[in-house]
Amino acid sequence: MKSVTRLILVGLTGVLASTGSALSQTADPGSEDWPSWAYGFLAPLGEGDRVALPCPLDANPRSCRHPSAPEFEDGIKHSLPDTDLKFTAREADNGYGPADWYPGDHPEMPDIVRYGNEAAGVRACSLCHYPNGQGKMENAHVSGLPAAYILQQLDLFEAGDRRNSDPRKDNTNEMARMPARLTDEEKQQIAEYFSAMPFRQWVRVVETDMVPTVRITNGGLMVPLEDEPLVPIGNNIIEVPEHPERMEIMRDPRSGFVTYVPLGSLAKGEELVTTGGGKTIQCGLCHGPGMQGLGDIPGIAGRTASYTMRQLWDIKQGTRKSNGIMEPVVQNLSAEDLRNIVAYLASLPP
């Protein structure tokens, strides 16, 4: 780890020398430059838009979110490829024991991951992040992360140092209140469980100028509408499930995403990631060869662009803290720069 720390310090010294000591510049969620797509929206914050509920530190985590849409339930036992198990939509979406379609894909789940703690309002980790930790565009990809890093992030959530900068996205409020209701043993179990599984290929990136029309679920998942015309991509990245029904209704932990990115964004992103482009440092100095992680520093290759963009943008806005490491790295990068970076990172093999 000493060599890793040294690389970080050398890289940051170069950034600070060229940019001064100023940190991130904040922006307005109502601005056209705001990356609304990363938070599950396709327009800037407008007057009268729904925003996240106030969430006191002692609130039940579930009270920190807006009421969900009525549960979809058709009573049908659904199936997925390569498994004999069948679940109804409600069983698949059970917050305190969601469907585990492929038990052979992961180690034995600790109870806190499989069931959560209903009395404390802590839903199962496997609901949003899936039993295999792959996660979705609207939450986080936690498989393969270093255990020490996972524990660090739980501490940051609990301290209020990891929040969304877009007031419309409220599911992070729930996550931020969970760690205080976990025991140290449960936190350790969660970290060791998810870190034991490698993150696998989850994203297929397509450069294009036209994308499917989408509807956006209450949680922020973008679902393509089959009978609607293609629309210009604009300055957005649009991510949709490879198999929309399997992901939205059955919560298929093997069904990844198609990430549509603007034409030319991959080459621009590669330039920034690999050289810094005169605005920042090379990402590989800290995140290692292929952006696959180095020591306790997480891998960032192959994750959904939405997730990675939220993290970088929240750091730039000051709502996610990184102990001063990432703040100077992103300070000179525009929303377009960051969009190109996350497009390129999504295209890399994890």
CB-based contact 299:151 (threshold 8 Å): no
CATH number assigned to the domain covering 2-42+200-347: 1.10.760.10
pTM score, two decimals?
A: 0.91
Tens digit of pLDDT for each residue in 5-41? Answer: 333 333 443 444 444 333 345 789 999 899 999 999 9
206: helix, strand or coil: strand
- Mean pLDDT for 228-234 is 97
Q: Note the pLDDT of residue 57.
A: 67
Tell me the DSSP string of 238-267.
EEEESSHHHHHTT--TT--EEEEEETTHHH
The fourth-level CATH superfamily of domain 61-195 is Cytochrome c-like domain (1.10.760.10)
Percentage of the chain surpassing pLDDT 90?
Answer: 79
Is 61-195 in the same CATH topology as 2-42+200-347?
yes
Could you give the maximum distance between any two Cα atoms of the chain, in Å? 62
Reported confidence tier of residue 71, pLDDT bands at 50, 70, 90: low
* Model pLDDT for residues 98-148, shown as the tens digit of each residue: 999 999 999 999 999 999 999 998 999 999 999 999 999 999 999 999 999
Domain ranges across the chain: 2-42+200-347, 61-195
Residues 282-296: tens digit of each pLDDT:
999 999 999 999 999
| Cα→Cα distances 330→24, 189, 233, 318, Å | 7, 33, 24, 11
What distances in angstroms separate CA 48 from CA 172, 270, 323, one per listed residue? 21, 39, 35
Indicate the SS3 state at residue 181. Answer: helix
Burial class (CB in 10 A: 0-12, 13-18, 19+), 269: buried
